[in-house]
Structure 1
Amino acid sequence: MSTIRDLLKDAMKDEVKVLVYAIRHFLSAGKLRYDDPADKLDEVLAQATEEDNRAIGKLFEENPLKIDEIHVYAMKIENGRFAFVFARNEEEATHFFCRVFQQWPKNCHQYPMDFPMAVGVRFRSFRELKREHDEFPALAGIYEREVKA
């Protein structure tokens, strides 16, 4: 059975900022314990007061743990060529793309971080690929598909 400790660990690893700070608040308020079953969080959230919500919001805004939510964006370079960019938001991704490719992307779509990508002979998620970068925005990779004439 999954515990609050497991849920917090996963939220930290996946950088789910609001979940990390909600759990942190309820732990410090004594409404949760690390060894509680993970589904107890649903009960606690259902009973959250306005004061709880303000405290979680404050933690989220102040971000004392410096959690940096990074997303991946696919941007079309030209027919059949796409760049995948790690960035905090679409605007940051677009500006990075423009600096690197000296053109505006034809489009920009956010992809799920757990989307599998073929890298060589194996599949890896964007979440795994993101761990290879220390600074953002960053180029996650370029995908080229065969264009039919």
Structure 2
Amino acid sequence: MNKRTVKEELAEAIYYDNPFLAHTLYYALLKGYVQEDDPTSKLPTDMDFQTITKMRDENWLQMCTIKLFAIPLDQDRYAIYLARDEDDVRHKHFKIYGWLAQRVIDASHRMDASLYWNDTGVSKTFREMKREVLEFPSYVGVVGRN
């Protein structure tokens, strides 16, 4: 049986942008319920999840600061961006397309959606793409029907 440590699980939760799990593990460490090298099976089940939710909402661990945004180009196509906020997306979009976007959609809930890129023959999720980007905002490309 694989006994993952709290430290391993926390690192993975941060890497894969799972803020509730990351904040839960962080809370357990802060309160002294577990140590970093303890197996996750030692985590108590009766922690104060209301406080943990508040920590997550206040983003104590500064997670998920890069979001996925879409700007409609026409009825079936969207320009896709990775950025911190809508203002960054609007500015980047104007530089690329030369017009101000009236509508910017926060599509962060689609971070794990996978796209197949014909030019490279590779499928990647937006989350994987985000890890490869060095500077934000970043233009991902156009998705939709051609």
TM-score, normalisation: structure 2? 0.69
CA distance in 2 between counterparts of 1:122 and 1:27 reads: 39
Which whole-Å CA distance do the structure 2 matches of 1:93 and 1:131 have between them?
18
Counting aligned pairs with the same residue, the percent is 22
Residue 84 of structure 1 and its aligned partner are, at CA, apart by: 0.9
Bigger Cα displacement from structure 2, 86-95 vs 109-118:
86-95
Cα deviation digits, residues 105-144 of structure 1 (max 9, x gap): 5562514211000123221111111112122221122225
Task: Give the equivalent residue in structure 2 for 1:33.
Answer: 35
Corresponding residue of 1:116: 114
SS at match of 1:78: coil
| Structure 2, unaligned runs of 5 or more | none
Taking structure 1 as reference, are residues 16 and 90 closer, same or farther at Cα in structure 2, changes over 3 Å only? farther
Provide the secondary structure at the position in 2 that maps to 1:127. Answer: helix
Q: Which residue of 2 aligns with 1:83?
A: 79
| Structure 1, unaligned runs of 5 or more | none
User: What letter corresponds to residue 136 of structure 1 in structure 2?
Assistant: F
> What is the CA-CA distance between 1:2 and the residue it aligns to?
5.7
The CA RMSD over aligned residues, in Å, is: 3.3
Query: 1:7 and 1:62, CA in 2 relative to 1: closer, same or farther beyond 3 A?
Result: closer
Q: Relative to structure 1, is the Cα distance of residues 135 and 41 closer, same or farther in structure 2, using a 3 angstrom cutoff?
A: farther
**Letter aligned with residue 28 of structure 2:** F
The one of 11, 28, 40 aligned to 1:9: 11
Give the residue type in structure 1 aligned to 2:81: V
Q: Is the 8 A contact 1:116 1:123 kept in 2?
A: yes
- For the 8 Å contact 1:77–1:105, the answer to whether it is kept is no
Q: Is the 8 A contact 1:117 1:124 kept in 2?
A: yes
Render the CA deviation track for 1:46-71: whole Å, top value 9, x for unaligned.
33287xx28x73x97585x6545222
- Equivalent position to 1:20, from 22, 33, 38: 22
* 1:7 Cα offset (Å): 2.2
In the alignment, what sits opposite 2:100? 103
| CA-CA distance at 1:95 after TM superposition | 4.6
- SS at 2:101 equivalent: coil
Partner of 2:132, secondary structure, is: coil
Moved over 6 A (4+): none
Distance 1:5 1:95, change over 3 A: same
Number of equivalent positions: 138
Residue 47 of structure 2 corresponds to 47
